[in-house]
Structure 1
Amino acid sequence: MATPTRIQLHKQSGLLELQFGEKTSQLTAEFLRVHSPSAEVKGHGKGQEVLQYGKKNVLITGIEASGNYAIRLIFDDGHDSGIYTWDYLEGLCTHQQTLWDAYLLKLDNAGSSREAHTSAIRFIQPD
């Protein structure tokens, strides 16, 4: 099992920097959020994954250790149930571009967007 030698959150840019041995990777908060290992995202079995959308501007607000094998990331959209093991994080770093491209394709196929959707309702006062 790989163990990161350094974990650093760059709050302003929203990047989580991870170092595994000599290799350093930077993962965006959005990437980590949409690839959360939580049941909310992964589901409870194959084929039950839930496509995450509208997460372009999500930020990591906290990191908590989970034993000696993982971290729990806390996001500003309230998501905090994913336990990111060292092996899972290393896999995200190693396959970042492939995973990101697949995610963007899934979004496109679903007609969804990385942008947060906001709806405005206009109330008209009766005369």
Structure 2
Amino acid sequence: MECLNKNVFVNKGEKAVVVSQWTSVLNLVERELKAARVRSVTLRGDVPVPARASLITALNDPRSDVRVMLLSLCAGGVGLNLCGANHLLLLDPHWNPQLEEQAQDRIYRVGQVKHVHIYRFMCVDTVE
């Protein structure tokens, strides 16, 4: 939350995508966002394909009050255009760096008009 508070929420119009390979981690972030009254949407593998378009539109629409999309790394791998956000937070490393690069490409693509910021969180003395 500290990274979001310092880099995203202080600037009106800035939005973020928070990526994790673990849905349990996304659930924890979602709880914190709700406590802070920050509107978010979540795209995980269990979200039906027809419902995904409205989540993407909510993030990409500059008039929408959705500030954060919580994105499962595998569910958000290919073909998503999330250029409504310009901050991407990778919460945990994946053994396949290509998946992380694909996640970054969701916001850094044609149509992006803002500077893109990628935050990659690393912890010392862990299994990863």
Higher fraction of strand: 1
Name the larger-Rg structure: 1
**Shorter-chain TM-score above 0.5:** no
Taking structure 2 as the reference length, the TM-score comes to: 0.25
Q: Which is bigger in relative contact order (C-alpha 8 A, separation at least 6)?
A: 2
- After TM superposition, the score normalised by the length of structure 1 is 0.25
Higher helix share: 2
